[in-house]
Structure 1
């Protein structure tokens, strides 16, 4: 009896399962297919947007470089490769660690795409004095072309600009003191150009 009842129940279950089960299977399959299609579409859209954004970033290299250069300027105003240079008042200065004659110092500065320092203000004088205390440093001032007619290496007008000579200088002692350097006190002194001392180079801030 129980076996017959079980067979009857199984027939009923199969009858219900076949049409509804097939429909349920098709529904699940369609939902999965739709889900995969939706995921693929979203992936394609995202990839497209990433590509478009990458293209826009490549089209704006100047803005990116500007940001990087702005950051580098704060860290190294005289350039990442010029860490031995010091920034002051919109220019960069190099204080040498070796001694040489005025003409060799001038050439050395020029090799570094700079010039011997032109001290044309009290602010710049104070900066140089602080950095050169108790030592002698060449500056870009000479009267080698005409005695008494002092000239700055960059053509700055000596007669109308700042000067800071030591008392009694320039005196052309020995008739051959044609180049100027900062004395141990920081004031200017004329001395023969073959004298060997340190030197200061000056250059504009790199753009």
Structure 2
């Protein structure tokens, strides 16, 4: 309704011109306030809606990220467990006795450790057992050649003794001594001076009996890791 029509209507009903202008001004003012209020309300609603959508998006992204982190963590745990029991093809080629046993050498399906310090036969036996192994058993020409090459004329204890019964030599792992390979030095074992109850490899890898308290290097042997 414009101002001229409003004045005409007011005059028809006997209103004064001054009253007409006041009423017109009042209506225009109220109409302007209503429009401002409506615009502000729409602005607030838009802002709240955007905030709500942003919050919802954050929750969704957080849930997706958490799910992915959980999945990755699970896969890493599986890989870690597998690595403890199964080595990669490259690791098997480089370290057949296991990446954590790099000081062990592979030969003929077994792993061997050549010590860097000397000790008695019984102490050497105990040290091998601490490493879940036993003193080496030499039961073939091939293994004898391997040991000979590695010992280089040094004295190394092997897992052979007759301390339970003189002349009755026994391998520590139960291998039958009487039916297997031997490589004694000429004239050995001779029990010289008595109580030479433990065997070591010496010159050119040949075996010799000596007192078990003698200080020698030692060779440990264990199967391949599974």
Unaligned runs of 5+ in 2: 1-67
1:73 and 2:89 correspond:
no
Once the two structures are superposed, the pairs formed by residues 81-160 of structure 1 within 5 Å of their partners are: 81-160=100-179
Q: What is the CA distance between 1:127 and its match in structure 2?
A: 0.1
What is the CA-CA distance between 1:138 and the residue it aligns to? 0.2
Question: Please, what is the CA RMSD of the aligned residues?
Answer: 2.5
Aligned to 1:5: none
Cα distance, 1:81–1:199 mapped onto 2, change above 3 Å: same
SS where residue 173 of structure 1 aligns? coil
**SS in structure 2 at match of 1:131:** helix
Give how far 1:185 is off: 2.0
- 1:69 Cα deviation from its structure 2 partner: 3.0
1:164 to 183, 188, 191: 183
TM-score, normalised by the number of residues in structure 1 = 0.69
Asked if 1 retains the 8 angstrom alpha-carbon contact of 2:200 and 2:207, the reply is yes
SS at match of 2:193: helix
CA contact (8 A) 1:132 1:184 kept: no
Structure 2 vs 1, CA of residues 67 and 144 (structure 1 numbering), >3 Å: closer, same or farther? closer
| Cα distance in 1 between the residues matched to 2:115 and 2:192 | 26
Measured in 1, the distance between the counterparts of 2:224 and 2:136 equals: 14
For structure 1, list consecutive stretches of 5 or more residues without a partner in the other structure. Answer: 1-50
Partner of 1:192: 211
1:32-71 matched pairs, under 5 angstroms: 68-71=87-90
Bigger relative contact order, structure 1 or 2 (CA pairs below 8 A, ≥6 apart):
1
Q: CA deviation at 1:87?
A: 0.5
The 1:67–1:157 alpha-carbon spacing in structure 2 relative to 1, beyond 3 Å, is: closer
**Residue 134 of structure 1, CA deviation:** 1.9
